[in-house]
Structure 1
Amino acid sequence: MHEDEAGETIILPDEVDSFRELSEYLDVLSSSTRLRILKIIERKPKDIRQISSEIRTSYENTKKHIDKLLSIGVVRKEAGLSRPTSKGIHPVWKYSLVPGGMEAIVRNLGLFSNMRLASADADLSARLAAVRGQVAEEFSGGVPAVTLLGGPDDGTVFPLEGERIAVGRGDRDAAGDLSAILLSEEYAAVTRVSKPHARFTLQSGVWHIEDCGSTGGTFVNGAALAPHHRQPLQDGDLIDLARGVHGASFVYTERGRSEREEEEP
């Protein structure tokens, strides 16, 4: 997306494809029934009949919901055994949330929420906000977190717990009394934790990001932070530690990993 000489917004073909795919993604997640299914299979694989019984709808409708979730890659199926019946035990397909599935949904919605959709498609922007609200409500109880984007550790989720968390490369012992988000050496543009690149700080219930005088700089939604200035974070903010292929980027989400239900007997 960019502006022409007259200042009008031009949507490029690849962005049109992204918006269309986002619309399809939101269609799948906008169903409260499908979100309930994700919660039901979050901890333990279940077959269609078990899921159908818990959401109280027909086998056929449940199968349709599962197929939709399979289409966006958040659910997987694998062979298992049915519960004992008068006819014995037989093989069935069981469905479960893919590892990191909810974190991926939160990350994806957070990334797209940071795009300037309003000027391109106000309806899509409103739908995105609504689905993010539904997901947060259904999977409430998680802690705020940042998810690493790109590089060898792409998709790693770091819950923000405590009051101060340093971020950079190096040894945990070098972080002193701070908790630390430790990045691998591949993120070469990020300074060592012994002189942290940046720091997350909790103030009055709000998480802030602060650049610790780094060489590469810290950016929130593309805007550079002044050294040692604490910037409050909002759900979906994009954080860059340095720029370029050897920097590190994160998306901040108010909801981290959801609370896990106890294992069923």
Structure 2
Amino acid sequence: MRGTSKRKRHVGRTIFCTLFSFLLSVFLTIASILMAIRIGFFNKELIFEYLDKVDFYNEVQQEVYKQVSYEIVPTGLELDLIDETIPIEKIHNDVNGYIEACFDNTEYAIDTTEIEDAMYQNIMDQFENMERQEDTGTQEHARRFISNIMEKYPDIIKFPYIKEFSDISTRIQPLITLIMIAAIVMGVVCILFLLLLQRWKHRSLRYIIYAILAAALMTVVVPVYLLIQKTYEGLGIRPIYLYNFCMEYIKASLFSFVWIGIVWLGIAVFLMIVIKLMKERLKKRKYR
């Protein structure tokens, strides 16, 4: 009878340990996925990092020059009037300023006064070289012409879809944080139950390792598949410099899941070493 009762307790303990191990893996997976989303897809600093890496600002500068040149060619003016009128620093500040404003839910005023003044001076210099007379009407026409062509500048500078993306990020981040904290708390509760259910703590750690390995696998399996298959590269994003940025940004965000999975694997290996040391210590005590 005593042996039967002992077996029942052992079976019951095993069932409960398996259940809590499963729940722990679920909570760890939820926390891991949400953490990866926060440090990957919804990370404003990651956006700025990859704008630099893909040479986004230079590409935008070339796009501005191209659009402006389309307006200048029919006038017969030389294209060199736009040379060095739109410095890369200006592009950098305006792009970043607009993105920051979107995430802060504020307005960003794009000022083109310096660019317009530089273009105006170049036009006047061209007229002087062509020995054309500069009267008030010519100057006003030049100002009006420059103002018209610079209306395209803000449209090119404004990062497409960033306003919608920042709105989603701002609304969803508090919810992500709340769910992540809840998942971590529930995970800690599961760990405590696992530690209490087993007399020998190395057995509890074994169930925790199972949960960690399962969470690591569930966290990385889909991102790894996407990284291998590169299905996201089929997205029809234009212009090309925006496409290049999005591809690198998506790739970096997917790698966030992979790195978290690797961290979990490292923790699992560490716990395996701890279990081995605990078993060796128990053996030494047994043979004393």
Shorter-chain TM range is: under 0.3
The structure with the largest helix share of the pair is 2
Q: Which of the two has higher C-alpha Rg?
A: 2
Relative to the length of structure 1, the TM-score reads 0.26
Pick 1 or 2: higher relative contact order, CA cutoff 8 A, min separation 6.
2
Relative to the length of structure 2, the TM-score reads 0.24
